[in-house]
Amino acid sequence: MMKTELFDYELPPELIAQTPLPERDASRLLVLARDGSGRAEHRRFRDLPELLKPGDLLVLNNTRVLPARLFGRKEDTGARIEVLLLSPRAAADGPPPDGNIWNVLLRPARRLKPGQAAVFAGGRLRGEVLSADGGGPGERVMAFSTEGDWEDELRLWGQAPLPPYIGVPLADKERYQTVYARETGSAAAPTAGLHFTPALLERLRRGGVETREILLHVGVGTFRPVRTDKVEEHVMHSERFRIESETAAAVRRAKAEGRRVVAVGTTVVRTLEAAAARTGKVEAGTGETDIFIYPGFRFQVVDALITNFHFPRSTLLMLVSAFAGRDNVLAAYAEAARLKYRFYSFGDAMFVG
């Protein structure tokens, strides 16, 4: 058994980035050797074309963050309510005629009991609690109804569900989206991709780097630290993914030809490795994965990783530690903190390869 405390580290609060940089690709990039030698180089993210090779396959997650945070008031008393939409949920007897059913995180949860409702956007949106069986602390099942089109109203009134460690409102909602985001469904951004610009992606393609996309909708569980004393006792959250046949074929071709598969973010790692778990080769398909990657995991697909700096005791840090070695990664984190790198969602990045 592996102790969770092995993935703890101290971080001065002032190093937690509260806002994105004006230019996406201006962030710093710590280049870490995967071989455990501790070799590290300090670059800028826009230097990535100098680090990738012609023939490398860069895999991106094209999920788009749902504007899933709603602020409203309890219908009967006017008490303030905050709702975070987690995932759509089918009704046992079909969807309601004028709304949608969702698993939500309710704050404060005690204010709304089954049968009670809240209103949002000056009454344009209404949500009624159907059940307290949402799956976790503060989670509920709610049915929403609206005067207009649900998706249009949500885009208009919903706010980006920023992580709890970010206390500054986001001036531009698009800065919590990647420039290649397509299909809405995530509760959080795949943050390693926030550093890319269209111009940088074009430079990579001109340099002979192949790019492909997968889809994994990031769940709110990505923010939850591991609370069990033993890593192996943690129950991993499940997330929906899709791999198109063209992407699967491109990955299999790259592996067969000895070219590197470079994952942009832990979401891409989880998707590709989950898809290869059964046969050793990435297969196209749609489904859900609760794959939990921690030291000792045998990687079959990913050869290099672009990722941000993750919070202590998180499954994300455990995944990166599995990829590059715990001691190697934590030493790099300590060096990054010493050099005042910016951490977490809007922070700087690492290239591990």
- The pLDDT tens digits of the residues spanning 239-262 come to 999 999 999 999 999 999 999 999
Q: 69-157, what's its fold?
A: Thrombin, subunit H (2.40.10)
The yes-or-no verdict on residue 200 having pLDDT over 60 is yes
> For residue 225, what pLDDT is reported?
81
With bands split at pLDDT 50, 70 and 90, how would you rate the model's confidence at 98?
A: very low
Give the mean model confidence (pLDDT) for residues 73-101: 76
From CA 140, how far away is CA 137, in angstroms rounded? 9
315-324 and 326-338 helices, crossing angle to 10°: 110
| Parallel, antiparallel or unpaired: strands 28-32 and 349-352 | parallel
With bands split at pLDDT 50, 70 and 90, how would you rate the model's confidence at 220?
A: confident
Give the mean model confidence (pLDDT) for residues 320-349: 98
From CA 106, how far away is CA 129, in angstroms rounded? 10
For the chain, give the mean pLDDT.
93
The yes-or-no verdict on residue 91 having pLDDT over 60 is no
From CA 347, how far away is CA 165, in angstroms rounded? 12
From CA 177, how far away is CA 192, in angstroms rounded? 11
> For residue 331, what pLDDT is reported?
97
Instruction: Provide the sign of the torsion angle of the four alpha carbons 204, 210, 216, 219, taken in this order.
Output: negative
Nearest Cα to Cα of residue 259 among 269, 267, 246, 250: 250
**pLDDT tens, 268-308?**
999 999 999 999 999 999 999 999 999 999 999 999 999 99
Lowest-pLDDT range of 13-27, 86-100, 109-123, 299-313: 86-100
From CA 134, how far away is CA 105, in angstroms rounded? 8
The yes-or-no verdict on residue 110 having pLDDT over 80 is yes
The yes-or-no verdict on residue 95 having pLDDT over 80 is no
> For residue 97, what pLDDT is reported?
42
> For residue 38, what pLDDT is reported?
82
From CA 98, how far away is CA 85, in angstroms rounded? 18
From CA 244, how far away is CA 212, in angstroms rounded? 10
Nearest Cα to Cα of residue 296 among 325, 316, 275, 267: 325
CATH of domain 4-65+172-352: 3.40.1780.10
Burial of 132 (C-beta count, 10 Å sphere; 0-12/13-18/19+): middle
Answer whether 273's CB lies under 8 Å from 299's CB.
Answer: yes
User: What are the residue ranges spanned by the domains of the chain?
Assistant: 4-65+172-352, 69-157
Give the mean model confidence (pLDDT) for residues 51-80: 95
Fold match flag (4-65+172-352 vs 69-157): no
Q: What is the 3-state secondary structure (H, E, C) of the chain?
A: CCEHHHHCCCCCHHHECCCCCCCHHHCEEEEECCCCCCCEEEEEHHHHHHHCCCCCEEEEECEEECCCEEEEEECCCCCEEEEEEEEECCCCCCCCCCEEEEEEEEECHHHCCCCCEEEEHHHCEEEEEEECCCCCCCEEEEEEEECCCHHHHHHHHCECCCCCCCCCCCCCHHHHCCCCCCEEEECCCCHHHHHCCHHHHHHHHHCCCEEEEEEECCCHHHHCCCCCCEHHHCCCCCEEEEECHHHHHHHHHHHHCCCCEEEECHHHHHHHHHHCCCCCCCCCEEEEECCCCCCCCCCCCCCEEEEECCCCCCHHHHHHHHHHCHHHHHHHHHHHHHCCCCECCCCCEEEEC
> For residue 135, what pLDDT is reported?
66
> For residue 277, what pLDDT is reported?
94
| Parallel, antiparallel or unpaired: strands 40-44 and 63-65 | unpaired
Instruction: Provide the sign of the torsion angle of the four alpha carbons 175, 180, 185, 189, taken in this order.
Output: negative
